[in-house]
Amino acid sequence: MTVLVTGGAGYLGSHTCIELLNADFNVVVLDNLSNSNIESLNRVSKITNKSLHFIEGDIRDRDILQKIFTENDIKIVIHFAGLKAVGESCEVPLNYFDNNVYGSIVLFQEMEKAGIKKMVFSSSATVYGEPEKLPLTEDMQLSATNPYGRSKLMIEDICRDLEVSDSIIKNNCPWAITLLRYFNPVGAHESGLIGEDPNGIPNNLMPFISQVAVGKIKQLKVFGGDYDTVDGTGVRDYIHVVDLARGHVKAVQALENNLKGVTAINLGTGNGKSVLQLVKAFEQQNNKQIPYEIVGRRAGDVAACFASAERAQSILGWKAELDVNAMVKDTWRWQSNNPDGYC
């Protein structure tokens, strides 16, 4: 069975390509390399000893999509391609709506024309906005607090409208879409060959910690020490990227086995860890000191955010298996072997 992976050269996409190839899927990747390096896919082939078909191009390019759908017998699309930096999305919102929302519309239109209506979409816990209650369950109210989050919510809404359209216009090929809402993906493949390779100064906690560990940045700034949490620092549901990648294989298999309609599913562990708990785990497992100072809260941050992981278990038969020690060890193996990322 052949799967098209948009954004497959990126952090989550490259790890998912490994798990797909290991599960014997044929993989076609479409990526414009706007936030990735082709070397990630060379290494995917090295790790799996299998090849995939890479096409450099943009999801907004109809000609490329038509060519891909004509030349390959694609059955399911995993749609990772998108811009993902919250801060940047506030500065250039139109780029985010153009790339993420318009790009998804073009992709869905071309999929529909080609009769391909099964998809796994990269959504985010950001669609829950300010958590009303924890753990977060998929039926809770949705909202967005920035253009990036709004782009994810808009795409989710488009998918739900496609399901409504199927109920009005009855045809024999309805959409089947799984909206995977990721919590905080971290870590790297255990080979140390692929991992997260952010441009410039990282926005997210784990790549920031590992760049402090490798000596590129002097000190971690911990944003807020006065939250109502275990130690006053922010709590998140960190999930190992390899677990997340395996969740995608399960999602593809569920669609293959005829999971119907539009289904939102959290991919998280169900457990929260604080900033300082993550720092301590990194220090202990890797024998590295992470100098830090506690500074003011970061605008827009919530105190705590973690998933209910029950639906993933019941619908996909998936649960996270790798613990925080694996997350920090694998991150460090990648970072120390590749201090400058893929360059």
Contact of 299 with 213, CB cutoff 8 Å: no
Contacted entry of ligand NAD, ligand UFG, none for residue 74, CB cut-off 5 to 8 Å set by kind: none
Sign of CA dihedral 243, 249, 251, 253: negative
Which of ligand UFG, ligand NAD, none has residue 36 at its interface (CB below 5 to 8 Å by kind)? ligand NAD
Q: Which of 215, 190, 217 is nearest to 204 (CA)?
A: 217
Contact region with ligand UFG (CB under 6 A), list: 25-33, 43-51, 134-142, 201-209: 201-209
- Total residue count of the chain as it appears in this document: 343
Tokens for 261, please give them.
């309609």
Burial class (CB in 10 A: 0-12, 13-18, 19+), 191: middle
Q: What span, in angstroms and rounded, lies between the C-alpha atoms of 318 and 311?
A: 9
Residue type, 299: A
Q: State the nearest-atom distance from the C-beta of 289 to ligand NAD, in Å.
A: 26
Minimum CB distance to ligand UFG, residue 179 (Å):
13
Binding range to ligand UFG, per CB under 6 A, among 5-13, 37-45, 215-223, 331-339:
215-223
Near ligand NAD by CB under 6 A: residue from 4, 59, 307, 312: 59
With CB under 6 A as the contact rule, which of the stretches 33-41, 68-76, 122-130, 311-319 interacts with ligand UFG?
A: 122-130
Q: In the structure encoding, which two tokens stand for residue 267, read together?
A: 């991919």
- Options 1-9, 60-68, 216-224, 257-265: segment touching ligand UFG (CB under 6 A): 216-224
Window 218-247: contact mask with ligand UFG (x via CB under 6 A): --xxxx----------x-x-----------
Task: Report CA 297 to chain centroid distance, whole Å.
Answer: 25
Selecting among 11, 128, 148, 238, the annotated active-site residue is 148
- Give CA–CA dist 105/82, Å, rounded: 12
Residues 6+ apart with CB under 8 A from 76: 1, 3, 4, 116, 118, 119, 120, 252, 255, 256
Among 17, 25, 26, 36, binds ligand NAD (CB under 6 A): 36
Measured at the CA of 29, the angle between CA 160 and CA 196, to 5 degrees, comes to: 90
**Across-strand partners of 274?**
235
Q: Which does 219 bind (CB under 5 to 8 A by kind): ligand UFG, ligand NAD, none?
A: none
- CA distances for 93 relative to 200, 215, 309, 340, angstroms: 20, 33, 31, 29
Q: Site map for ligand NAD, 131-160, x if CB under 6 A?
A: ------------------------------
- Out of 3, 4, 5, 12, point to the residue binding ligand NAD (CB under 6 A): 12
Which one of residues 212, 275, 276, 312 is an interface residue with ligand UFG (CB under 6 A)? 275
Residue 86 binding target from ligand NAD, ligand UFG, none, CB below 5 to 8 Å by type: ligand UFG
Query: Beta strands 53-56 and 304-305: pairing type?
Result: unpaired
* Whether residue 148 lies in the annotated active site: yes
Q: Which does 25 bind (CB under 5 to 8 A by kind): ligand UFG, ligand NAD, none?
A: none
Torsions phi, psi for 214 (to 5 deg): -85, -5
Binding ligand UFG (rule: CB under 6 A), the pick from 81, 134, 205, 279 is: 205
Annotated active-site positions, please? 148
Instruction: Give the interface with ligand UFG as residue ranges (CB under 6 A).
Output: 84, 86, 124-126, 149, 184, 203-205, 208, 220-223, 234, 236, 275, 298, 301
